[in-house]
Structure 1
Amino acid sequence: MDDSFFDKTLYGATFSVPSFTEKHLNWRDCLDYMQDALPEDFNFLRIGAYWAYIQPAANQYVWDELDEVIDAIENKGRYNIVLSVGMKAPRWPEYYIPTWALPNPPEKNSEISKDVSLRIKVLDFIAKTVERYRGRAVIKAWQVENEPMDRAGEGRWFIGADFVAEEAARIRSLDSRPLIINCWSENQTFSSQPWGLDGDYAVKNALNIADILGLDIYATVDGRQIDFQNRCQYLPTEYIKRAINMGKKAIVAESQAEPWGNMTTPEDIRWLMDQHIGQGYRTVLMWGLEWWYEQVIYHHDDSIFRHINWETKRFSMLSRVNPEWSTNHATDIVQHNSKLFMTVVGHDSGIWLFSSANDGQTWNTSRVPDANWITMDPVGLASHNGQLFMTIVGDNDQAWLLSSQNDGYSWKTTQIMGDWQTPRQMNMASLNGILYVTMVGNLSNEVLLLASNDNGATFSSSHVLGDWQTQQPIDIAVHNGDIYMTVVGYHDSSIWLIKYSIANQTYSYSQVMGGADNWHTHFPVGITSHDGKLYLAVVGDQQSEILLLRSSDNGQNWDVSPGIFDGWTTSQAIALTEYVNPSNQRHLHASLIGSTAGEIYLCTKDPILTPEKVLQY
């Protein structure tokens, strides 16, 4: 079984033909509409093999419609599929059992899988479905039933874990693709009465049987939001950690995006998506596609589709790094030897290097340089002359420079300027074979720029603009052949952009957004150059909001927007860098720390930066 397909970001929805039919909608037209209405990163669809329609009689199989659905999806050239098989399938009435297969339905609340005759028929249908479609590469996983161990439908039946395991074994005997079992995200003593006291029945059995746990997450149930924090926040956080600890994966199989008693708004969808991203889910399937299309056809309202378009872009570029990790310090990121590297300070003050060969989809971690090194400050990172460099503030404020010629497997350590000390993080940039390091002086918080033309063996130093001071780390970037630095004012916390001209070896400066707005911050300001423009990442002074600034004229004017981070806050500096992918496409990357629990986030594509205002200063 190879589940590596689910290492990448996948975003899509359930696509239910019976639901389209019930709403008198044409599913083919919807598929065509989606092609233009949604971006290419909307790339994953969950469909069902509806038993009652496929096998209307014991000796009759009608595969035409499912064949057509799979063909149509595949022909669009952008989607992959998870196919749900069994007696249950997405959408009401939940159970799609042909009348001939269950002539005497059991009583309400029964364990329907105790019917021996029904078990035989279900296993036969599953086998025939898998045998028919296992040759289709577009199908990436099988879903074993739909919420099998949750009570559902008019009869409130459920499928016992023993039979779900038998179904899974039958599929595995026929095909090697990963198996998903989805469950209702709620304590089952509430959602599936009468269970007795076992509120974990479905999830624990799904984790034991399946390769991938699927969660169905709803904020509003039948018009009520009772226990929604447990359903949407606490339990999904617990479940993904349990899956990871068992060496398995967890996905969101249904994320509520249609009304259930109350109207669903873009704000509701956005809130729930924030939870999924923060919990570390990399695959999310929305629930409500048929309703979105109904709004377009019958009400001429495409607002939900437009919002899903935006959510797709946001989800494709923003992910949580290693959900089991958190930190109390800012991170730094850089591209080196085609890999993405990130520095993380652990809760024990240990120094860790994260590396990713696939643009942040998966990460390797290692302690740097050994278990005895600790720091109380963020760790700087740079690529210079074919080596990876790291700046560390020691436990006694020593200024250390580390270099590695083998992507961080071993390190050479040097104390900068012999015995120099600093109370703040140091940052680096490389230009024309010279390594530049910014430093806050240990005596009077002076702003210093150091330069080395021998890979850090020796440095020259200069006081930036004579007597400038700051209480925040100084970030640095190379832009249009010169050095640019961001400095937070010592007395008034204003934001300054300092340019060091390489040709003239002179400094110039300007206040960022220093006009009527008079911007301030109590956090370091991230800076990088991307696509010929300067970018800054600012943490707001009032509510720790995240703001992205872009300048096309070397910092004279700025476009300002929260971009995809609208509504987010952070208590740490944001790191920026430019990343060049294997296709030679350039993207702006950002790493930031969440304000909930110190979670680590990575933005791997350009944030959606709209020019909400352009100020001249």
Structure 2
Amino acid sequence: MGKILLLILALILIVLIGEWFFEKIYPYPEKITYGVTFSPKAAKDLKLDWQQIYLKILDELKVRNIRLPTYWDSLEETEGRVDFSQLDFLLEEAAKRGTGVILVLGGRQPRWPECHIPSWAKKLSISSRQTKTLEFIRKVVDRYKIDDNPIIAWQVENEPMLGVFGEGCDPPDKKFLKSEVMLLRSLDQRPVIVTDSGELGSWITPMELSDVFGTTLYRLVYNPVLGYTNYPLLPYFYNLKSGIVRKLFAPRNTKTIIIELQAEPWSPTNNLAVMPIETQIKLFSLDNFKSYISFAKKTGFDTVYLWGVEWWYWMAQNGHPQYLDFARLVFDKSERANPF
């Protein structure tokens, strides 16, 4: 019993020293730029008016940094016919308010099922689908690379090396990812972001290929085998990992940001609308929200994009405005400048 107690005390001491040491080397940022990822699909899944919610995000929350998807299956439902009307609306409204946009390119995008491939492209061979993906990227970039648009950076795919997550996705392909990045660099000079799982990815390839690396940060996740699991990682793990990978493999990479900070509960069915609200609150309470924001600050990264803005509005409509109220406080304190 005495030895067990000593071991526990030793582990606590290591943790405390580690946090103290990390804060001395990587001081917590005094100011943080906060943003959100907004998905019209996620809003629709929650039976929300996506246009109305988007404008509220810009005008009520006053979000000035936002990440937007380009869902291939929505934009080019029929091969060769691209409907940019939804994306035009999103970018035009952001531009009116001086909101900077990260635009995600490629077939793999934020929100389930991860790979948003048109039905016609699913019938192609992998090599043919890759060719069509490059053509689609070119169409999007050519349309929006004009100087007066609100795009501050391009993101190539979403967690492209994470082969264990997603539905209907091709296997991770470093060579193809590199060709996507090379195409993008040939078309425009804005910073290129590539992302990876904060907890499951090596970060090497995404950081090698990007100007800015984006890590996800999740605390409570669901696994079909293990059920709900808390990642037993300390905040400084992410910054130390970033520094090591950059030093050894990616010296041209200039910055790491948190591209997805969990700010909603994880649904085993990927559909929060059918999960009892009481269960959702239990899985992600207001205290969880506050602690995750605090945890992110302790990583030392000065740019954090939150994941769950559609859910905050849905919860408010269902009698639980506390998440939206807290988010307002977060964005009131946010830096407004371009983080890149």
- TM-score scaled by length of structure 1: 0.44
Asked whether the 8 Å contact 2:239–2:301 carries over to 1, the reply is no
Q: 1:290 to 1:87 in 2, by over 3 A?
A: same
Q: 1:177 to 1:316 in 2, by over 3 A?
A: closer
What are structure 1's unaligned runs of at least 5 residues? 1-7, 106-114, 189-199, 318-357, 363-617
Q: Name the counterpart of 1:208.
A: 208
**Alignment partner of 2:235: what SS?**
helix
Q: Which fold has the larger relative contact order, with Cα–Cα distance below 8 Å and residues 6 or more apart in sequence?
A: 2
Flag the structure with larger Rg: 1
Residue by residue over 1:448-477, the C-alpha shift from the partner in whole angstroms, topping out at 9 and shown as x without a partner, is xxxxxxxxxxxxxxxxxxxxxxxxxxxxxx
Matches within 5 A, 1:218-617: 218-222=218-222, 226=229, 228-230=231-233, 233-242=235-244, 245=247, 246=251, 247-261=253-267, 263-297=283-317, 299-314=318-333, 316=335
Q: Does 1:129 align with 2:140?
A: yes
Paired amino acid for 2:235: Q
Asked whether the 8 Å contact 1:37–1:305 carries over to 2, the reply is no
Paired amino acid for 2:157: E
Q: Does 1:145 align with 2:157?
A: yes
Q: Partners of 1:56 and 1:36 in 2: how far apart?
A: 31
What are structure 2's unaligned runs of at least 5 residues? 1-30, 268-279
Paired amino acid for 1:307: F
Asked whether the 8 Å contact 2:193–2:211 carries over to 1, the reply is yes
Residue 180 (structure 1) shift: 0.5
**Alignment partner of 2:220: what SS?**
coil
**Alignment partner of 1:182: what SS?**
strand
Aligned pair partner of 2:167 in 130, 150, 154: 154
Q: Partners of 2:32 and 2:187 in 1: how far apart?
A: 27
Q: Partners of 1:315 and 1:50 in 2: how far apart?
A: 28
**Alignment partner of 2:291: what SS?**
helix
Q: Which has the higher helix share?
A: 2
Q: Partners of 1:222 and 1:162 in 2: how far apart?
A: 31
Q: Name the counterpart of 1:18.
A: 41
Aligned pair partner of 2:129 in 90, 105, 118: 118
Residue 315 (structure 1) shift: 5.2
Q: Name the counterpart of 2:23.
A: none
Aligned pair partner of 2:77 in 49, 56, 59: 56
Q: Partners of 2:297 and 2:210 in 1: how far apart?
A: 23
Q: Partners of 2:155 and 2:51 in 1: how far apart?
A: 23
Residue 312 (structure 1) shift: 2.8
Asked whether the 8 Å contact 2:213–2:256 carries over to 1, the reply is yes
Q: 1:124 to 1:225 in 2, by over 3 A?
A: same
**Alignment partner of 1:181: what SS?**
strand
Asked whether the 8 Å contact 2:38–2:54 carries over to 1, the reply is no
Residue 240 (structure 1) shift: 3.2
Residue by residue over 1:142-186, the C-alpha shift from the partner in whole angstroms, topping out at 9 and shown as x without a partner, is 000111111222346443111111100000000000011111111
Q: 1:160 to 1:235 in 2, by over 3 A?
A: farther
- The number of residue pairs the alignment matches comes to 286
Q: 1:240 to 1:260 in 2, by over 3 A?
A: same
Paired amino acid for 1:237: N
Paired amino acid for 1:118: R
Q: Name the counterpart of 1:72.
A: 93
Q: Does 1:34 align with 2:57?
A: yes
**Alignment partner of 1:173: what SS?**
helix
Asked whether the 8 Å contact 2:98–2:150 carries over to 1, the reply is no
**% identical equivalent positions:** 28
- TM-score scaled by length of structure 2: 0.77
Residue by residue over 1:119-157, the C-alpha shift from the partner in whole angstroms, topping out at 9 and shown as x without a partner, is 111111011111110114310000001111112223464
Residue by residue over 1:188-221, the C-alpha shift from the partner in whole angstroms, topping out at 9 and shown as x without a partner, is 4xxxxxxxxxxx2xx1001110111101111011
Q: 1:237 to 1:99 in 2, by over 3 A?
A: same
Residue 275 (structure 1) shift: 2.3
**Alignment partner of 1:141: what SS?**
strand
Q: Partners of 2:241 and 2:95 in 1: how far apart?
A: 32
Q: Partners of 1:184 and 1:272 in 2: how far apart?
A: 17
Q: Which has the higher strand share?
A: 1
Aligned pair partner of 1:100 in 120, 127, 147: 120
Q: 1:277 to 1:243 in 2, by over 3 A?
A: farther
Q: Name the counterpart of 2:7.
A: none
Q: Does 1:175 align with 2:188?
A: yes
